[in-house]
Amino acid sequence: MRIEAYEIDVLGFIKNTHVIDSEEETKLITKRPVNGLYRAKWNGVDWVEGLLQEELDEIEYQQYLDSLKPRDEEIKNAQMELLILNLLIDMEVM
């Protein structure tokens, strides 16, 4: 069976990914990084988050700001509602 194995740099970050035979003896890390890590770092036993708390806070803040921006569909719907309202005003319905 073929598996992914990870070559890490001196700080524990993934340098390269290799596909090897699962029976092959290797110095590469064969444990997969857990999902949800922005930058996986090997601590000698497990994969941990490699970003600093400041970097994580910046990502979270940027995601929050992005969530406040209206989507294109929402903008188009609002423009259509304004158009309809202006038409109703011009027709003196409102």
Q: Where are the beta strands (DSSP E) in 1-94?
A: 2-8, 14-21, 40-42, 47-49
How close are the terminal C-alpha atoms of the chain, in Å?
72
Residue 85: both structure tokens together: 């309202």
The structural domains of the chain, with segments of one domain joined by +, span: 2-51
> Residue 94 pLDDT > 70, yes or no?
no
pLDDT at 24: 86
pLDDT digits (tens, 9 = 90+) for 24-64: 889 999 999 999 999 999 999 999 999 999 999 999 999 99
pLDDT digits (tens, 9 = 90+) for 66-85: 999 999 999 999 999 999 99
Is the pLDDT higher at 94 or at 7?
A: 7
